[in-house]
Structure 1
Amino acid sequence: MSIFFAAIKRILYFCITMTVSIIIVNYNTLHVLKPCLDSIIEHTIGIDYEIIVVDNGSTDGSIEALSNDNRITLIQTGENLGFGKANNKGLEQAKGKYILFLNSDTLLGNNAIKIFYDFAEQFQGKLGALGCILEDRQGNWIHSYGQFPKMKDDFQKFLWIPILKGLHLYNSPVIKYPKQWLIVDYVTGADLFVRREVLDECGAFHPAFFMYCEESEMEHRFNLHGYDNVLLNGPRIIHLEGEGGKDGKSSRFIRDTYRQQKSEYIYFKLTEPRWKYFLYRTIHPVLRLTVWLNPNVSFADKWKFTKQLYVSIKL
């Protein structure tokens, strides 16, 4: 009898699954989401897929506009869960053999999803996350991958004061882009193509993160399970960084800096020994006071950031 039910389950699995589930998180980004959806429909051929949009409590008319769009499956969270948690909500309903986590502020420039799929199917080895070389509107290559965060690197990046830079204590990482493909620490969360089985084995986005570092931590787990994360040259995806938000430059800098720092604390807490994390948390907040030396940030935002740093961050 158990063999019978197992067979039925497998038949049902193949009946309801498809090749790729595209998951897009939306929070008040309807103005860029609509072109994103159009670009997917326009360029994606030769492969079956579904589009799942997870709305994080938008107030810009997204719900009204998306509710009547029969090209997508709409999930409403009713609140802003952040990037990782919202993607996990979409993953719960995804039917694809592969998952593409895609930012709402992206545009496909070619049949990127099919190219991802073909590469993943032919890859000789254990493939974790797959991403591409992202472009801006002018076709310039932009930030697409990185090294896993390291405490020493986080300390070094604050040594930007001219006298310290003259001592050559800080070295910017060398950015390399592959002619075909390259194994990297992590690919950015703007476009993450992952086999569903890898997510089931290693886990998806950690719920402790709201925004930033969640893809690094997830792909770090992929590495621990023996999977390689790969940057692929071939798919064309334009990333409209910064076009999703409406805040002022100074306020956005403080907000994003605070969120980035909080996420780094979570990342190191999850990936480093306790003693190293404690030492980092003790010393690092002092270095963050360098924000007061930034002439582009208003006094009010500097003060707000300082209060957030020493009062609000409780991990």
Structure 2
Amino acid sequence: MSVDTSKPSVACVIVSFNGGPWMADCLRALRESTVPMRVIVVDNASSDDTRAIVAGFPEVTLLPQDENLGFGRANNIGIARALADGAQQVFILNQDTVLAPDCLEHLSREAAADPALGILCPLQLGGDGAAMDPTFLRYYVAPHATAYLTDAVMGHAIAGHYRAHALPAAAWLFTREFLEQVGGFDPLFFLYCEDDDLCARARHHGFGIALVPAARFRHLRGFHAPASSMSSSQLLRKRRSRLRSIVVNDIKRPEGRFGRNAWYALAGQTLQSAQQLFVYFNWVEAVAGWAAVLRVLPELPRIRRHRDACLTRGAHWLPLPDRLQGHQEQ
């Protein structure tokens, strides 16, 4: 076993929520890592056998929560625990993934080679590992890591890492300096866009975001149910949640003035919703968009406070060690 629980330099944090179908495979893969690590699972009040499965891996620290805190807040709890335990690098990983044994080795090497990097992301493969995950390729690599895509397509030598504008948080390696200077995920986001927000804050504070192609993992996408399998009410709630996060992210971005950002984000979503209804006759998307705007309006003072905080350096949103269990936002 490659896991070292004494004083690790790397800690892996996994947020779980009803992750029974994938958790054992995820943890078994971490046992094969060529880099010793401490593994921390933050469980968001799972109702399945997730906690029992984790208990079968005695080297893993389980931090059970009494409620579903969402992706970002739960990760913050695990990250804070890892820092308190002395980790110099923190690797966050989705529960529905299988890590290649040398993944962390490549990420750690590139982090050491370029101290300006704060977030390092491995190459995300599909569930069978045969090719790049289509969503990762379409929405992140193609628009944000074109240099890597060009080298790969043209058969050029592949660099150790490629700077990117933004990458998804299914698997990220943070440096300790980044976490202490920029902080964790903003609890404004329960799900969706928390990684986009943190990438924007990284850029604002001068930290690089990088894709490391030699580091790889398989993403099984266990929670990505097709829209066709959802009822109209379920689809409406999901779209409202996503659109609300998108609007908050647009308002909170470091660039521009807060008032201008808020006006453009809220007016833009209102008009897009009207277009969805009167041009495309998509009432679900229209209602979800308007509902998202109405939900954001009373949140504007809180969004402004969080934005102002994130414009300064500090370990924002990371709970103190004595408040790890059941942490609530201040």
Partner of 2:51: 63
Partner of 2:262: 277
Whole-angstrom distance in 2 between the partners of 1:173 and 1:289: 28
Pair 279,60 (structure 1): closer, same or farther in 2 beyond 3 Å: same
71, 77, 96: which one aligns with 1:105: 96
Pair 64,103 (structure 1): closer, same or farther in 2 beyond 3 Å: same
- Determine which structure has more spread, i.e. the larger CA radius of gyration: 1
Q: Would the aligned equivalents of 2:42 and 2:75 in 1 still touch at CA under 8 Å?
A: yes
Displacement of 1:286 after TM fit? 3.1
Whole-angstrom distance in 2 between the partners of 1:74 and 1:236: 25
Gaps of 5+ in 2: 149-157, 300-330
Helix, strand or coil at the partner of 2:230: helix
Q: Would the aligned equivalents of 1:129 and 1:186 in 2 still touch at CA under 8 Å?
A: no
Partner of 2:292: 309
Asked if 1:239 corresponds to 2:230, the answer is no
Helix, strand or coil at the partner of 1:266: helix
Asked if 1:136 corresponds to 2:126, the answer is yes
Matches within 5 A, 1:101-180: 101-123=92-114, 125-138=115-128, 139-142=130-133, 143-144=135-136, 173=143, 176=146, 178=148, 179-180=158-159
Partner of 1:153: none
With structure 1 as the length reference, what TM-score do the two structures score? 0.76
Pair 17,265 (structure 1): closer, same or farther in 2 beyond 3 Å: farther
Whole-angstrom distance in 2 between the partners of 1:22 and 1:239: 16
Displacement of 1:245 after TM fit? 5.5
Helix, strand or coil at the partner of 1:186: coil
Asked if 1:259 corresponds to 2:210, the answer is no
Displacement of 1:253 after TM fit? 4.5
Asked if 1:204 corresponds to 2:192, the answer is no
Partner of 2:323: none
With structure 2 as the length reference, what TM-score do the two structures score? 0.73
1:211-249 alpha-carbon deviations (Å, 9 max, x no partner): 1111121122121221111011101211112x2366863
Helix, strand or coil at the partner of 2:88: strand
Pair 108,68 (structure 1): closer, same or farther in 2 beyond 3 Å: closer
174, 177, 190: which one aligns with 2:170: 190
Asked if 1:32 corresponds to 2:30, the answer is no
Pair 68,133 (structure 1): closer, same or farther in 2 beyond 3 Å: closer
Higher mean C-alpha displacement, 232-241 vs 272-281: 272-281
Aligned sequence identity (%): 22
Gaps of 5+ in 1: 1-14, 148-171
Aligned-residue RMSD, C-alpha: 2.8
Whole-angstrom distance in 1 between the partners of 2:243 and 2:211: 26
Whole-angstrom distance in 2 between the partners of 1:304 and 1:54: 34
Partner of 1:161: none
Whole-angstrom distance in 1 between the partners of 2:263 and 2:239: 21
Whole-angstrom distance in 2 between the partners of 1:240 and 1:81: 22
Q: Which amino acid aligns with 2:146?
A: K
Helix, strand or coil at the partner of 1:211: coil
Helix, strand or coil at the partner of 1:92: helix
Whole-angstrom distance in 2 between the partners of 1:307 and 1:133: 36
Q: Which amino acid aligns with 2:196?
A: S
Whole-angstrom distance in 1 between the partners of 2:167 and 2:235: 23
